[in-house]
């Protein structure tokens, strides 16, 4: 299987915040943003793997800035690392002002698994990061995968060597 670059999976979705998508403070409801990020990330994972993909876990979400009603929101998703059947997808969320300037509002990291028609995990191409940011995200992906597996009870903390190296000398 030939390796690919993160930019081959890039998925950009732009949409407005409508009244039905806000909380009582008139800001974008968190669950609505999670759904938008899940859709963009799912498309990115599909572009990388050329397979059906399912969300396996949401590893990290930071709601740093509230997104007001009427905002133009762009969700940008890219595969940051591919393992055997799973892919880490990094999502950046931007708010766009009327003058066209952009402000980074949120970010998230999701894990997707490529599956066959029977829902069984299937292999995905490796990924070759190109930019400095892509290389940085690629390098951190294994410890994030290990943390996610430990929290899900699917890996023993002792086996999470890459994760442990963060804390031990
Ligand atoms: C995700 C799913 C396919 C994994 O199936 P599984 O039988 O656990 O398969 P495996 O144990 O072989 O794991 C497959 C891959 O997912 C990874 N994975 C599984 N759970 C994970 C988690 N919580 N965090 C990170 N990676 C995870 C494994 O490490 C493995 O990766 P690798 O092959 O790249 O090394 C299965 O649990 C599933 O179908 N879940 C429902 C998905 C769904 O419906 N999502 C929508 C949300 S409602």
Ligand 1 mutation pick, 31, 49, 56, 115, max ligand atoms within 8 A of CB: 56
Residue 169 has pLDDT above 70, yes or no: no
Specify the length of the chain in residues: 169
Q: What percent of the chain is predicted at pLDDT more than 70?
A: 99
Sequence-distant (≥ 6) Cβ neighbours of residue 135 within 8 angstroms: 129
Q: Say if residues 123 and 85 touch (Cβ distance below 8 Å).
A: yes
Render pLDDT for 17-75 as a digit per residue (tens, 0 to 9).
999 999 999 999 999 999 999 999 999 999 999 999 999 999 999 898 999 999 999 99
Residue 99 has pLDDT above 90, yes or no: no
Q: Say if residues 78 and 97 touch (Cβ distance below 8 Å).
A: no
Structural domains in the chain, CATH included, are 6-129 (3.10.129.10)
List all residues whose CB is within 6 A of at least one atom of ligand 1. Answer: 54-57, 83-86, 111, 113, 115, 119, 121, 145, 148-149, 152, 154
Render pLDDT for 59-76 as a digit per residue (tens, 0 to 9).
999 898 999 999 999 999
Q: Which residue has the tokens 């994760």?
A: 163
What gap in Å lies between CA 74 and CA 54, rounded to an integer? 22
Q: What percent of the chain is predicted at pLDDT more than 90?
A: 91
The 3 state secondary structure assigned to 84-123 is: CCEEEEEEEEEEECCCCCEEEEEEEEEEEEEECCCCCECC
3-state secondary structure of 158: helix
Confidence of residue 156 (pLDDT cuts 50, 70, 90): very high
Average pLDDT over residues 151-157: 96
Atom number, ligand 1, closest to the C-alpha of residue 84: 34
Render pLDDT for 77-97 as a digit per residue (tens, 0 to 9).
999 999 999 999 999 999 998
Tokens of 144: 């994030």
DSSP assigned state of 17: P
Task: Supply φ then ψ for residue 148, to 5 degrees.
Answer: -60, -40
The Å distance, Cα 113 to ligand 1 centre, comes to 6
What gap in Å lies between CA 57 and CA 93, rounded to an integer? 19
């Amino acid at each position: 299987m030939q390796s690919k670059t993160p930019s081959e999976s890039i998925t950009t979705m732009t949409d407005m915040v409508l009244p039905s998508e806000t909380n009582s403070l008139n800001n974008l409801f968190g669950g609505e943003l999670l759904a938008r990020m899940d859709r963009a990330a799912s498309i990115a994972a599909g572009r990388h793997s050329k397979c059906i993909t399912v969300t396996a876990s949401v590893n990290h979400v930071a709601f740093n800035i509230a997104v007001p009603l009427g905002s133009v929101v762009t969700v940008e998703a890219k595969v940051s690392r591919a393992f055997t059947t799973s892919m880490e997808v990094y999502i950046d969320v931007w708010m766009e002002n009327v003058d066209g300037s952009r402000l980074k509002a949120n970010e998230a990291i999701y894990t997707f698994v490529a599956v066959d028609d029977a829902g069984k995990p299937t292999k995905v191409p490796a990924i070759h990061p190109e930019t400095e940011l892509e290389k940085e995200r690629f390098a951190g992906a294994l410890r994030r995968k290990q943390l996610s597996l430990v929290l899900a009870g699917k890996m023993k903390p002792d086996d999470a060597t890459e994760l442990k190296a963060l804390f031990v000398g």
